[in-house]
Structure formats: C-alpha cells, structure tokens
C-alpha cells in the first residue's frame, strides 16, 4: 500500500498545473488509488506493482505526444552507456503512432535498408515479443544487441494484407551524412544526398558544393533528403543558410523563454541563385523538414516527392530522483510562414510518389529523381 500512496502523491504533483478544480483533482487521485487497489486484490494473476507504476507513468507521458516517454533506472542507465564496438543496430529511425512502433526512415546502406524496411512500416513483433503496449525506448532496447547477431522483425505495410517478416543482422551503424555526384543528360547538375544532420554535415555539404563549382559549369542542384530522419538543429540552420541571402529560417516555441527563439539567414547565397530541387518523402523528418520547409516558404527551391513525416518538436532528457529519466517534448519548430511541422509535415510543390516494387533511391529505377532531372530540361 505504501507504493500506492507514493504513486498517488506523484500523480498529484504531476497534475498540479492542470485546470481542474481541487475537488475534481482529488477525486481523480482517489479513483486512481481505487483502481490500483482492485488490481492488487482482484486481478487473475500476481502483478509486479513497480512495473504497473512504470506503465502508468509512461502512459501519462505517451498521452502527451509520440516522443515523450519514461525510462526506468535500468533503461536510463543502459541508454547512457557507451556501447561502441559492443552493440549493434539495424539502421532505422523509429517513432510511435497510436501505440504502435512506426519506422520514420531506414538509413541508407544499413542492414535495415538492405533488408527492405521502408519508411511508414509498422513493427508489430521484435523476435517473439509483441510490440503493442511497449514504449518506444523498450522497443529500441529489444532491437539492440551484439554485433553480428540477427533479429526477426514482423512488419505491417500499407496496402499489403499479410505481415512481412525480415531477418536482419546487427551491425555498428556509421553514417556518412553527405554523398554527391554529377548527374543529368548534359552532366551539369549537382546531386547531393544528405542522409542525416550530424556534427560535420555542413562542412561536408559545403565541400561538395565547392568541388562542383570548380569542376564544371553547374546548371542547378538536386538536394536529396529522402529517408533523412533529421539530427542537429544547428546543422539544419547552417545548411539552409547556404541558399538564402536573408530572412527567417526557423523558430522554436516552448514554455520557457530559453526555448523560444528565432534563427535568421546571414547574407550570402553560396550557389548565387542557381535553381534548386529538394527531394523529400515520408521518411524525411525533423531537421529535414526545417530545411525543405524554409526553402519552400522563401520560394528558393521546388520541393518534389511525397509529404514529409511531421516531426516538428524538440525533446530533452530529464533525469529523475529514482535514477530513471523522462524524454519530454519542450518546444516545437515553426517555419518562416508561422506554420508548425508537427503531425503535418511539409507538402511538396510537386507530388511524385515512388513507383514499382523495385524502387531504390538514387538508381535508374528512381522515378522521383528522374522527374527532378527533367525539370531542369523543361
């Protein structure tokens, strides 16, 4: 009963700022305690009361948005442990949607991408474990493991009736964020694929641009952000700034003054106004959406492909007294137009859906890239 009383106090503190009357709030707290007591006395199986409370806390956080979650002390410690060289991953960015784990994007040249995992897939089983009801971080924990070991994923995919099964071997995931090449019938278009926004992305990106400008007379650029799950806000701002002379890039708004900021472009368009086409899809999220949305709002680029994911929020990891932690949304991104990206994403100027079961990004089968190239010839 002591644990239940502590739990009730926790929930009382949690909801002190909610616009209930005091009587309504205390009634809710009493109801919560009553439910816990009935579970303890009447439920068919013995239950771990600590696990029930962890689930209740996590339920509160997940009711806020798909990205907020609770980490028990064990999980929090594990998430903070440096596992380089010991544990491997699959190469996917995941989120939650209606209590189900959803693939935001597979990362290029990783085990998940090579196995055929796609943006928008729903993971329903990890090994023999049902994912329904688990938190996002619990799902991440299940997918981690020693390098070289395999894991079975059961996937539900839109427009396919039967579940799909994949066996994937874990590897150390090392992402080279920028790759580039000359494309087009006349070999005069600069193609830059940006896979993530990590610490050195802006330097790699600018290096590719400068090399293109030296080598040949570039007519324009195709910037490929498909399946880019995002990354560092500072990198998104720096790379967007390459293409703008002035104006707002993005703003963040939170409850704290420190989380409410605006970021502006500095003078100087690195490609001197040359035309730009940006490719996005359902796997383009967060920093990718800031980049694409800002260039669209400033009419600096044509956005082509499919609607982006819609992750327009910033999370912070907050340690708790019990040794655990919470991942909590503290602010949201807003485009120069004032629109929020959250749950909406960026709508392309030209909708081009990927075609064919054998579609692979940046190959001859890539109808979206082929369409972008044709735009420069029209």
CA 43, CA 45: separation in Å to the nearest integer?
Answer: 6
Q: Out of 177, 180, 284, 286, which one is annotated catalytic? A: 286
User: What is the pTM for the complete model shown?
Assistant: 0.80
Res 88: pLDDT:
64
Res 4: pLDDT:
47
Nearest in space to 116 (alpha carbons), one of 91, 97, 146, 137: 91
Res 60: pLDDT:
87
217 is catalytic: no
User: DSSP alpha helices (H): ranges in 63-181?
Assistant: 73-80, 111-115, 136-143
CA 120, CA 104: separation in Å to the nearest integer?
Answer: 6
Q: Are 103 and 168 in contact (CB under 8 A)?
A: no
Res 179: pLDDT:
93
Contacts of 122 (CB under 8 A, 6+ apart): 97, 100, 101, 102, 103, 155, 156, 157
C-alpha dihedral, 330 to 336 to 337 to 338, nearest 10°: 20
277: left (phi over 0), alpha (psi -120 to 50) or beta: beta
- In this structure, is the dihedral angle defined by the CA atoms of residues 334, 337, 338 and 339, taken in order, positive or negative? negative
Superfamily (CATH H level) for 178-315+330-377: 2-enoyl-CoA Hydratase; Chain A, domain 1 (3.90.226.10)
Listed by start position, the domains of the chain span 2-74, 77-169, 178-315+330-377
Q: At what angle do helices 201-215 and 233-241 cross, to 10 degrees?
A: 20
Q: Out of 65, 202, 224, 297, which one is annotated catalytic? A: 297
Res 276: pLDDT:
97
Neighbours of 171 (CB within 10 A): 16
45 is catalytic: no
Neighbours of 78 (CB within 10 A): 16
Residue 212: Cβ-neighbour burial (10 angstroms; 0-12, 13-18, 19+): buried
Q: Out of 102, 134, 296, 311, which one is annotated catalytic? A: 311
Res 332: pLDDT:
93
CA 48, CA 58: separation in Å to the nearest integer?
Answer: 15
286 is catalytic: yes
Q: Over the chain (378 residues), what is each successive 10-residue block's mean pLDDT?
A: 47 51 79 86 86 84 87 79 53 83 88 91 92 82 88 92 94 86 90 92 93 86 95 94 95 91 93 95 94 97 96 90 91 94 94 88 92 90
Record: fold of 77-169: Pdz3 Domain (2.30.42)
């Amino acid at each position: 009963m002591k644990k239940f009383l502590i739990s009730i106090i926790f929930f009382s503190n949690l909801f002190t700022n909610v616009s209930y009357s005091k009587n309504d709030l205390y009634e809710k707290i009493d109801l919560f305690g009553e439910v816990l007591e009935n579970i303890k006395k009447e439920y068919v199986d013995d239950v771990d009361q600590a696990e029930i409370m962890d689930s209740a806390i996590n339920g509160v956080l997940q009711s806020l948005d798909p990205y907020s979650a609770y980490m028990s002390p064990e999980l929090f410690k594990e998430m903070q442990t440096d596992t380089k060289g010991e544990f491997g991953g699959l190469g996917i960015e995941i989120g939650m949607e209606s209590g189900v784990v959803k693939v935001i994007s597979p990362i290029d040249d990783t085990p998940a991408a090579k196995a055929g995992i796609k943006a928008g897939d729903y993971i329903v089983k990890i090994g023999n474990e049902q994912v329904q009801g688990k938190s996002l971080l619990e799902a991440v924990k299940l997918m981690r493991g020693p390098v070289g070991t395999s894991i079975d994923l059961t996937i539900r995919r839109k427009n396919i009736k039967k579940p799909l099964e994949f066996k994937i071997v874990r590897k150390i995931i090392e992402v080279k964020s920028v790759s580039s090449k000359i494309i087009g019938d006349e070999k005069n278009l600069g193609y830059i694929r940006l896979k993530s926004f990590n610490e050195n992305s802006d330097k790699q990106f600018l290096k590719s641009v400068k090399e293109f400008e030296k080598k040949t007379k570039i007519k324009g650029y195709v910037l490929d952000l498909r399946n880019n799950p995002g990354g560092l806000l500072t990198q998104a701002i720096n790379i967007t700034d390459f293409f703008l002379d002035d104006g707002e890039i993005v703003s963040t708004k939170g409850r704290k003054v420190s989380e409410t900021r605006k970021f502006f472009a500095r003078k100087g368009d690195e490609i001197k106004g040359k035309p730009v086409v940006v490719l996005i899809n359902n796997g383009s999220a967060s920093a990718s959406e800031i980049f694409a949305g800002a260039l669209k709002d400033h009419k600096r680029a044509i956005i082509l492909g499919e609607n982006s994911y819609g992750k327009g929020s910033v999370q912070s990891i907050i340690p708790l007294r019990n040794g655990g932690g919470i991942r909590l949304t503290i602010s949201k991104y807003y485009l120069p137009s004032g629109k929020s990206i959250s749950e909406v994403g960026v709508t392309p100027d030209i909708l081009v859906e990927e075609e064919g079961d054998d579609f692979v990004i940046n190959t001859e089968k890539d109808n979206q890239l082929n369409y972008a190239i044709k735009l420069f010839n029209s």
